[in-house]
Structure 1
């Protein structure tokens, strides 16, 4: 497979009469863009805002982030989700870089939603404060889940994807000299790369929820119904994977993260130089122990069948998924595949809890990408997009309505105390994270 991602860097975003990209400026026709959002009759309210790094703006509850793209030659950016099922990872895709579409609830938040600050102390905790963002603030009539802690947010998330496709389409007749090429030949046609140590990446996207509609999607297929499968890395970078709605927020992988997965890109950089990058084993996270064991067996079998010398296991989430994470690490080590893991930790507010729920002596090479339990205190912001009260009212991970010692997460003056858990995609296990460990 060969994928060319043609980049159009966005220096600024503005509203105007015509949606177009000219000399680094993305102009958005707000009325047209909102019409795309409102194609779903479940959307009862929608508005668009532009936020940039350094703006004194707080976003809450943030539900999704997406990079605007356009598939050259036709077809949906997200096959099997926003359009017909087709192969991703081949051909040419245009991308509007240095920006994202953010989806924010006007009212209702949930366990999986988070916060973004575009300035101040909070900005350092999330990658998306560094981007120019077109923010969709919207509400829907999905009454059945408004006051549920766990929400599917389907109407809002799909509206974000349609909006991202609408924006990306403004590049369809343009050219750029900034082209990223991802070309990974078939396993038996690697030439000199075949003599290098081989590595496979094992991804464990969020797939715990047995009821459909909450989990990450693979070509539109709910990952809870998926057995581990081999995928070309280009598919992940080119819209095959969609973020789900369920996962404590700092551990979450947004669709933007799948589209730009830094660890995949780094392995591409090393391919043919220091390693032979075999590809992706897309696994899942399960609830029952036999399901976890079955997935680990599949992963180990695939790795050995592919001839992997080593593996990198990447976990989306923590808690129950830690058993899937360490299970894969142990299964791979048991068949002679040297393995490292990427995960975050949950030590509890008192710091006394076990960082990973499940551990094994063979899981002796784990990279920590942060602690979800770290306390963060944030001052008020001049502007709030969404509804700040959602942090405490709606059961967001990392926020609370009241604590006997700490009081509420959201204070009367608009300042906040919360756990890192509530920072949108804050730990960035995919490879953005700048967090590290310290010994005392």
Structure 2
């Protein structure tokens, strides 16, 4: 399966009369884009903004991030979700690099929504503070979930994907600046020199804990709570087959942008044929009941062993209850003779003294930490707030609170904030973006 991604590098985004891309400048006709968004009758209020690195802008509650993409042959960039169900992972896809579509709620954030700062101390906490962003701030008629801690955010998430494909349409007939090639041979038909290398599989554990449909990560539009772990070609993950869900404390979240650009996958591709034999992806899930967790771990270990994996990397979206899936999968792989490395964040409390994962095992002796979700962060006010900063100051918002007997409210009268790292949108970057490091004292 061969995937080609034609890249167009966005150096600046402006509003203008015509949707176009010229010499690194992406021009968007705001009214035409908003008219397109409003075709979904659930969108009751919508506005577009531009947020670039260095701007005195804070966004909250951020719900989704998507890289603008389009397929020149007319297939949907997000098959089975906002377009017809087609095979992803092969052929040509065009991508606008260095930018994203950020979806921000006009009101009422929740457990899975977060913050992005475009400058100052807060900028470093998320990847999206470094990008050129088209920001959709919108509200919907989904009254039933506004005051709920857990939100499907369906209208807003779909609006972001539709807008990303709409914007990328301007490069459909252009020649990309560069083309990235992702070509992985069938597993049983590889050259002898590749077969001699250690075989490695990447195990992804997206958030799929909700039994009710609409919250979980999607594979080709299908709710992954209804799946057992399966093999996927890495090209499918990079090419829009996986859509981010809306269930996870937000610093732990994997946005659709993370799937489209997953650095861990790209690093494994780069080492394929050099230091490793990259087998592909075991796409697992996260469950609630113990039996479901054990079943998934059995599937993952069986798949890895059947594929002939010598080693595995397991990446977990989330913490808390999902730690049991993460550790269970890790142990099952080790028991199957597959040397395993885990990648996750940890919840060690505001003082850093609590147990990092809900459950642990002595066999899990190679875990990469992406940081402490409970670490306290204080940030000064910003001149511009897109969305509703007060969302952070409600109990139930990931990492924020209405009031604390010691720390006071998360949102202070002057617009400065105090919160846990939990509130940073996709801030722990488990897919491989993280610039954090460990220090020993």
Bin for the TM-score computed over the shorter chain: over 0.9
Measured in 1, the distance between the counterparts of 2:11 and 2:431 equals 25
Deviation of 1:36 after TM superposition, in Å, equals 1.4
Deviation of 1:260 after TM superposition, in Å, equals 0.2
Cα contact 1:205–1:316 (8 A) shared by 2: yes
Q: Which residue of 2 aligns with 1:231?
A: 232
Measured in 1, the distance between the counterparts of 2:395 and 2:108 equals 7
Alignment of 1:27-426 (within 5 A): 27-191=27-191, 192-393=193-394, 395-426=396-427
> Which runs of structure 1 show a deviation greater than 4 angstroms over 4 or more consecutive aligned residues?
none
Pairwise CA RMSD: 0.7
Deviations 1:45-78 (A, max 9, x none): 0000001000000000000000000012111110
Deviation of 1:394 after TM superposition, in Å, equals 5.4
Deviations 1:291-350 (A, max 9, x none): 000000000000010000000000000000000000010000001000000000001223
Measured in 2, the distance between the counterparts of 1:36 and 1:204 equals 34
Deviation of 1:393 after TM superposition, in Å, equals 1.7
Deviation of 1:126 after TM superposition, in Å, equals 0.5
Q: Which residue of 2 aligns with 1:438?
A: 439
Cα contact 1:2–1:91 (8 A) shared by 2: yes
Cα contact 2:352–2:372 (8 A) shared by 1: no
Measured in 1, the distance between the counterparts of 2:226 and 2:359 equals 23
Cα contact 1:347–1:354 (8 A) shared by 2: yes
Cα contact 2:53–2:118 (8 A) shared by 1: yes
Measured in 2, the distance between the counterparts of 1:337 and 1:423 equals 34
Gaps of 5+ in 2: none
State the secondary structure of the residue aligned to 1:189.
Answer: coil
Measured in 1, the distance between the counterparts of 2:344 and 2:378 equals 24
Quickly say closer, same or farther: Cα 1:56–1:177, change in 2 above 3 A.
closer
Measured in 2, the distance between the counterparts of 1:275 and 1:374 equals 36
Quickly say closer, same or farther: Cα 1:394–1:110, change in 2 above 3 A.
farther
Deviations 1:73-110 (A, max 9, x none): 11111010011111000000000000000000011100
Gaps of 5+ in 1: none
- TM-score with structure 1 length normalisation? 0.99
Deviations 1:157-201 (A, max 9, x none): 100000000011111100024110000010112212111100000
Cα contact 1:147–1:394 (8 A) shared by 2: no
Measured in 1, the distance between the counterparts of 2:200 and 2:346 equals 25
Measured in 1, the distance between the counterparts of 2:395 and 2:48 equals 23
Measured in 1, the distance between the counterparts of 2:416 and 2:177 equals 45
Cα contact 1:11–1:25 (8 A) shared by 2: yes
Measured in 1, the distance between the counterparts of 2:51 and 2:220 equals 31
Measured in 2, the distance between the counterparts of 1:398 and 1:388 equals 13
State the secondary structure of the residue aligned to 1:169.
Answer: helix
Cα contact 1:409–1:416 (8 A) shared by 2: yes
Deviation of 1:361 after TM superposition, in Å, equals 0.4
State the secondary structure of the residue aligned to 1:319.
Answer: coil
Measured in 1, the distance between the counterparts of 2:276 and 2:334 equals 19
Measured in 2, the distance between the counterparts of 1:394 and 1:47 equals 27
Measured in 2, the distance between the counterparts of 1:396 and 1:167 equals 31
Q: Which residue of 2 aligns with 1:13?
A: 13
Measured in 2, the distance between the counterparts of 1:237 and 1:135 equals 23
Measured in 2, the distance between the counterparts of 1:235 and 1:179 equals 17
- TM-score with structure 2 length normalisation? 0.99
Measured in 2, the distance between the counterparts of 1:101 and 1:148 equals 25
Measured in 1, the distance between the counterparts of 2:252 and 2:5 equals 27
Cα contact 1:300–1:332 (8 A) shared by 2: yes
Cα contact 1:108–1:390 (8 A) shared by 2: yes
Measured in 2, the distance between the counterparts of 1:352 and 1:389 equals 30
Cα contact 2:8–2:177 (8 A) shared by 1: no
Q: May I ask how many residue pairs the two structures share in their alignment?
A: 440
